[in-house]
Amino acid sequence: MPGGRDHPISWTMKGSYAFGDSTMICTEKLVAIFTGMVMLVTPLGTPPQTKGSDAPALEYKLDKRVQYFDAAGRTLVENVVDLAYEYQLPLGIEYLDREALRRPIDLRLQNESVRGILTAIVQQVPEYSVTFSDGLVDIFDPQEREDRSNLLNTIIKNVNITGREAGEANQELACALAHEIDPSTVCVASIAKGQLGQQKITLHLQNVKVYEVINAIVAQNQKAIWTVIADRSSLTDPRSSDLWHIYPLQAPFKQAVLDKLLSLKQ
């Protein structure tokens, strides 16, 4: 991204905790990579204007027909991220393993919907599932959701966010998670405002898991994707930092997402 950083939000916390879109003082330079995806799209006119829930707008995008799609031997992660940016789909990727990051997918489809393509891609890696609900495309491993040691499954007792930008809401969640791990945590935030858009986030939730709150933030924002950026061992280590990241659904950021995720397979 021109002039951008991989981590638009940074903060430090007592005990060296850092989560979400965070860094511990230092920042990470982005290395752009190029991936190709072959597809021909059939235009369907102007999307409907919606009030209140953004689910109808997402449904419209998911129902678009693609004349020809070729996964081209690329991975689940590469194909899904490409589709999210091509069709502006708010997306969550809750878990990543070797199969999602390394297994090449050989898949060709004709006259299929975006929803159908995503479903077919995820089915190539059987341990994963995909849902299309509440204004979000969500890709996850059902077994990981049951693992209490996974920090993204940590229960946050009270979430009270009113009229905050997505970056601010995400920072509040990261601080809440740090406090659940260590009640003595002191969270001091520095946020690059506006990078995730001006849409205001309001959430009043009780006894929800961390990943559910991130999903809700991205679903309300509608112009972002989030993905875990830590390996399995880090997700279960309370000392870990940078567990997830929220990225804008703007074309220059796609390369940052892929670069970060593909680095996990090393």
Residue range 242-264: mean pLDDT, rounded: 94
Among 20-29, 55-64, 74-83, 93-102, the least confident range:
20-29
| Six-digit token string for 112 | 């299929």
Q: What band does 201 get if pLDDT is binned at 50, 70 and 90?
A: very high
Grouping H, G, I as helix, E, B as strand and the rest as coil, residue 241 is: strand
Whole-angstrom Cα distance, residue 131 to residue 143? 15
What pTM value is reported for the model? 0.80
Domains and CATH numbers, the chain: 9-265 (3.55.50.60)
* Mean pLDDT across 80-101: 97
Which pLDDT value is given to residue 187?
Answer: 81
What's the rounded Cα separation, in Å, for the pair 221 and 57? Answer: 13
User: Residue 33's pLDDT is what?
Assistant: 28
Lowest mean pLDDT among 32-36, 74-78, 124-128: 32-36
For residue 11, what is the enclosing H or E element?
A: strand 9-13
Q: What is the spatial distance between Cα 96 and Cα 227, in angstroms, rounded to a whole number?
A: 9
DSSP annotation of 21 reads S
Tokens matching residue 15: 């005990």
pLDDT for res 249: 96
| Per-residue pLDDT, 34 | 28
Of 10-19, 146-155, 240-249, the range with the highest mean pLDDT is 146-155
The confidence score (pLDDT) of residue 189 equals 62
The bridge status of strand 38-41 relative to strand 91-93 is: unpaired
**Within 22-63, where are the H helices?**
55-62
Kindly report the average pLDDT of the chain as a whole number. 82
Would you say residue 101 has pLDDT above 80? yes
Is the pLDDT at 165 greater than 90? The verdict is: yes
